[in-house]
Amino acid sequence: MSTIINSIDKRSPAERAGVRTGEKLLSINGHSVEDVLDYRFFGYDPDPVLVLEDPNGVQRRVQVKKGDAEELGLNFDTYLMDEPRPCSNHCLFCFVDQMAPGCRDTLYFKDDDARLSFLMGNYITLTNLSEREAQRIIDLRISPINVSVHATDPKLRSVLLGSKAGAESLRYMRAFAQAGIVMNGQIVLCPGYNDGIQLQRTMEDMAEWGFASCSVVPVGLTKFREKLSRLEPVSRECAAQVIEQVEAFGEKCLEKYGSRLFFCSDELFIRAGRDLPGEDYYEGYVQIENGVGMLRSLIAEFEAGLRLEDAAVEASAFTIATGVSARPFLQDLADQVRTKLGVCGEVAAIENDFFGHTIDVAGLVTGGDLIRQLQQRKLGKRLLIPVNMLRHGGDVFLDDLHVSDVETALGVPVTVVEQDGFDLLDAMLERK
């Protein structure tokens, strides 16, 4: 734990109050500060009183003048003011355990930190949560909490998570529900384990416990599973059965709770060979970060933007690189642009040689696969790639190649496109 202040935002309330770098933040309004949750929660109040300690151990009190929603403006050595808590599970389906060797170290770190659930939207299993930490979540009214549930049968959940705590931690979900803490859930579907009757039980329990939403996503299996438990991929038939089951229960939830609560990911619809549902199905895209409605949202935004265009556009030919599963949808959008505006574009489906061909999503395409599969292809004047191929906030692919490496190898500029239909249209029309 480090609550030592290493910088202060310019013109912030803390700077105006005379807070100094190098001081340790001990408490806010009489509440001790252990990490970022305490800092953000207690620092939210107007005009807080801080207790600070200088490097010599001398303490002082400082009252800070600020509004309700105004940030104090303090920065610490790490965002959490603490080390991230690693995952202690051994999940049968863990993607990190299936990573290729030789990637950057950060890709092998598994976090399971409740603080990152609240602050960053990460999904956690609750297995390394202590009673004290669970009570703090309740006391601070921390919501929402995003939970990797997978199963509510205690024995099965322990098997799936590879930990006895899988069963024991179910009590936290019930406690959070009773305390009114908002929970979103995720179920990674593993055929033969948590489908069928077990999936039904899980959905019924989660609905009873007051979960606000839950995604159902197919297990992702790479080619790097030599020493791991055998798992079967989600087949076309399995995907169709799961969709039917989830939708049937979702209709009951809609009638009872006013929400479907449970949503199948785009990937399940694609594997089942079914059309994507309409926008209304997704209820405001509450689970979009888990791949639920991502394609429908992209299509709806794109077509809304295209309807505003009423004249031919001068733009160079392009290629969009994406995963195998998304290619038909993006090609349809490119064809719409060609028909209405005369801009020529093609979509290249990149086979995932790096992780194995069972992985077909764009977010796991590497720079190396892009280069190898596009080098002999006519790309037009530019290449468009989705932002989720890259490390968050950067320009690095999973195999540590940079966007500039791809540009050099292919001889065309690369445009990074946000997960946004309007941005995609602008990129096609060479407006970004």
Tens digits of residue pLDDT in 83-94: 777 788 899 999
Tens digits of residue pLDDT in 274-286: 999 999 999 999 9
The two structure tokens encoding residue 229: 């438990």
Architecture of the domain delimited by 298-428: 3-Layer(aba) Sandwich (3.40)
User: Where do we find the tokens 């800092």?
Assistant: 39
What pLDDT does 1 receive?
55
111 pLDDT tier (thresholds 50, 70, 90): confident
What pLDDT does 121 receive?
76
The two structure tokens encoding residue 242: 């799961």
Domain ranges of the chain: 5-76, 96-291, 298-428
CATH 3.20.20 fits 96-291, yes or no: yes
What pLDDT does 328 receive?
96
Q: For the sheet containing 262-264, what is the strand order?
A: 145-148, 183-189, 213-218, 262-264
Mean pLDDT (the chain) is: 92
209 pLDDT tier (thresholds 50, 70, 90): very high
Question: Which of left, alpha, beta for 368 (phi over 0: left; psi -120 to 50: alpha)?
Answer: alpha
What pLDDT does 87 receive?
83
**Angstrom distances, CA of residue 160 to CA of 56, 74, 155, 168, 370:** 50, 41, 9, 13, 34
CATH 2.30.42.10 fits 5-76, yes or no: yes
What pLDDT does 422 receive?
97
Q: Confirm if 298 and 325 have CB atoms less than 8 A apart.
A: no
Tens digits of residue pLDDT in 275-314: 999 999 999 999 999 999 999 999 999 999 999 998 999 9
What pLDDT does 112 receive?
74
Question: Measured between alpha carbons, how far is 54 from 25 in angstroms, rounded to an integer?
Answer: 9
Percent of the chain's residues with pLDDT above 70: 97
Instruction: Report, as an integer, the average pLDDT of 7-18.
Output: 93
The two structure tokens encoding residue 429: 């029309």
Q: Confirm if 299 and 329 have CB atoms less than 8 A apart.
A: yes
Tens digits of residue pLDDT in 45-75: 899 999 999 999 999 999 999 987 789 999 9
Question: Measured between alpha carbons, how far is 212 from 262 in angstroms, rounded to an integer?
Answer: 9
The two structure tokens encoding residue 138: 């309740």
Q: What is the DSSP string of 124-142?
A: B-STT--HHHHHHHHHTT-
What pLDDT does 158 receive?
97
Of the ranges 115-119, 222-226, 404-408, the best mean pLDDT one: 404-408
Instruction: Report, as an integer, the average pLDDT of 382-402.
Output: 92
What pLDDT does 379 receive?
96
Residue 183 — φ and ψ, nearest 5°? -125, 135
108 pLDDT tier (thresholds 50, 70, 90): low
Tens digits of residue pLDDT in 343-355: 999 999 999 999 9
Tens digits of residue pLDDT in 316-345: 999 999 999 999 999 999 999 999 999 999
More reliable by pLDDT, 185 or 40: 185
What pLDDT does 36 receive?
85
Question: Measured between alpha carbons, how far is 239 from 335 in angstroms, rounded to an integer?
Answer: 29
pTM for the model stands at 0.86
Angle at 150 between CA 149 and CA 155, to 5 degrees: 95
What pLDDT does 130 receive?
87
What pLDDT does 216 receive?
98
